[in-house]
Structure 1
Amino acid sequence: MNVHQPESAPRAPTISTSHPFGGVYASTICPMTPQGVVDETALAAHLKSVVTTAGMAGLLVNGHAGENFALSRDEQSTVMRIAREASGERKIVAGINAESTDLAVQLSEDAAKAGADAVMVFPPYSWALGADDRVIQGHHRAIAKASNLPVFLFQGSVNSGRTAFTQKTLSGLLEIDSVVGIKEGSWETAAYEATRRLTKKLRPDVGVMASGDEHLFTCFAIGSEGSLVSLAAVIPELIVELERAMLADDIAAGRAIHERLYDLARIVYGAPGHLATLRLKTCLVLLGRLETATSRSPIKALSAEETELLRAALATAGVLEV
């Protein structure tokens, strides 16, 4: 006897842009003159070229890629002002990174005045050596109150001490009403999934956004509301294309794009990681979108060997002819 088996309901795509801050946000760089001064003209051109990419949801400015740790308060305000002018109606998330909670509060107030749509709280670097949970909670709550804006958390790498929040710490941070999203930078797939599962259990309204450039494909497959990622400042079309493939649940297309991206992501974010910004800027120079790779790093330029590795990776990605 044949027993009718009901058809399975179609599986929902693993990523969704229905979240208020869903989609791809490029974590942008901050162009500088050869003398190390913020190049406002180049910055405006960079931001506009990235944010106007079809399918781009917005920008993350003054993030790690944007050298927030090395910019003065006035410089960060300038970046935010130029970003607002360049972005039109697209959303801007402003990074807040300061060791002092008082300064972080001032930066968040500046961002709000300059037209940010949300702020992202980067854990101070000193927390990598250890931080009391009361300090972590108090720092975030002070920024949330001062900015009066939606707040993104930043989940640090599994190897970065207390900048990687425990589930207990993250649970407390999710009690802040204005938290709307998490830039999930665990850089480890199991940790990413653990963060996502906890967040969706406690605060299903909070978006968990993929951040590890080397495994965007994997994170999108697990589930994500989008991405806030610096590779989108260099190859925005490819990152948007990857998101669209995964929205359509087209795993084969997503895997093919991942293959094109992998070498570039691995080289840009490989050890030592603190050179990532210089590598991103060098990529933009190679692509003819930036005149100089100058950054606030004491290392003024990559070696010829490192530059050629980036050139080859851009060629593999299909965005640069060799």
Structure 2
Amino acid sequence: MTTSPPAAPPFGRLLCAMITPFTESGALDLDGAQRLAVRLVAEGCDGLVLSGTTGESPTTTDAEKAALVGAVRAAVGDRAHIVAGVGTADTRHTVELARDAEKAGADAVLVVTPYYSRPPQDAVEAHFREVADESGLPLMLYDIPGRTGTRIEPETMIRLADHPRIVAVKDCAYDLLGTQKVLSRTELAYYTGCDEYTLALYANGAAGCVSTVANVTPRHLCTVLDAFDAGRTAEAARLQQRLCELVEAMMAGGLPGTVTAKALLTTLGLPAGPPRPPLRPADRETTDGLRATYERLVETTV
């Protein structure tokens, strides 16, 4: 009996949940976005997720979102997949943003569960199906109940997998059992959105990750995936554990990843700028602590 090789991940393995650079006055910095995108791709990112949580989608306009996609596409060409965040609490608005992203040059769209209104599962399913029906691009569903208040339940996910344009999931549900259930019953490509779960989900058949930490350390994340793909599982575990201190500092220290990533990028002389209110820049003590943690990671790699 022969088996077919697994399908290639639709958007590669390592996707960066890219920050949206702003100028010091708070304007969209398209030149900075292009420079950062080029660096991330050169450092190993297969794809860039724009206007997601880390990309401050709640505080950027529709026009800014489209301009960002167009600028990044012009900078990276076909060297990376571009997944554009288009999720809102309004199905009609989400459809409009998906169409805008397609016109601007995105390869796919990231669609979060409608938030605040907390729709029941039949309405959640209908929302995603309508966006998929009306968009010409593949969809990555974004399951992050800690922010939206509503889970995409595994049974809902399994039903949605029959839509030809629903191809992937960004998984921030912290439900390994539920994720394995969907993986075993569908061909959806799972990408963990939680950096501490990267290796755990990858070992369970995930396609890769959508990483906030990749804004500052894409090569380190590549080494984890490379080691696992080469069958060096103990090394992959060691490399994942080596990242733990930075992951904790950036993602579990009381500040959003947007704030910590921008603070670190600024210390590295890379495009970032301040976050938009209501988010506020990290203070000096926090920034110094992040940089010290980053330096320890770099020193252990040399």
Give me the TM-score of the superposition, normalised by structure 2: 0.90
Question: Compared with structure 1, are the counterparts of its residues 96 and 320 closer, same or farther at alpha carbon in structure 2 (3 Å cutoff)?
Answer: farther
For 1:57, the equivalent position in structure 2 comes to 46
For 1:265, the equivalent position in structure 2 comes to 247
1:235 aligns with 2:214: no
Q: Which of residues 175, 189, 195 is equivalent to 2:162? A: 175
Q: CA deviation at 1:317?
A: 1.7
Q: CA deviation at 1:168?
A: 2.7
For 1:315, the equivalent position in structure 2 comes to 295
Question: Compared with structure 1, are the counterparts of its residues 83 and 196 closer, same or farther at alpha carbon in structure 2 (3 Å cutoff)?
Answer: farther
Matches within 5 A, 1:104-123: 104-123=94-113
Question: Compared with structure 1, are the counterparts of its residues 21 and 299 closer, same or farther at alpha carbon in structure 2 (3 Å cutoff)?
Answer: closer
Q: 1:84-139 CA deviation, whole Å, 9 max, x = no partner?
A: 11221121111112121111111000011111111110123315xx3222321222
For 1:222, the equivalent position in structure 2 comes to 204
Question: Compared with structure 1, are the counterparts of its residues 103 and 299 closer, same or farther at alpha carbon in structure 2 (3 Å cutoff)?
Answer: closer
| SS at 2:21 equivalent | coil
1:22 and 1:226 in contact (8 A); partners too: yes
| SS at 1:298 equivalent | coil
Structure number with greater Rg is 1
1:229 maps to amino acid: S
In 1, distance between residues paired with 2:75 and 2:300? 26
Structure 2, unaligned stretches of length 5 or more?
none
| SS at 1:126 equivalent | coil
Structure 1, unaligned stretches of length 5 or more?
1-12
| SS at 1:317 equivalent | helix
Q: CA deviation at 1:160?
A: 4.8
Q: CA deviation at 1:152?
A: 0.7
In 1, distance between residues paired with 2:288 and 2:122? 46
1:80 aligns with 2:69: yes
In 1, distance between residues paired with 2:70 and 2:13? 22
Question: Compared with structure 1, are the counterparts of its residues 53 and 166 closer, same or farther at alpha carbon in structure 2 (3 Å cutoff)?
Answer: same
Q: 1:164-203 CA deviation, whole Å, 9 max, x = no partner?
A: 22223223322322111111112x3xx13422332331x2
1:131 and 1:162 in contact (8 A); partners too: no
Moved >6 Å (runs of 4+)? none
1:284 aligns with 2:271: no
Q: CA deviation at 1:62?
A: 1.1
Q: Which of residues 183, 202, 206 is equivalent to 1:199? A: 183
Matches within 5 A, 1:203-214: 203-204=186-187, 206-214=188-196
**Structural RMSD (CA):** 2.3
Q: CA deviation at 1:210?
A: 2.0
Matches within 5 A, 1:21-100: 21-54=11-44, 56-89=45-78, 90-100=80-90
Give me the TM-score of the superposition, normalised by structure 1: 0.85
In 2, distance between residues paired with 1:293 and 1:302? 11
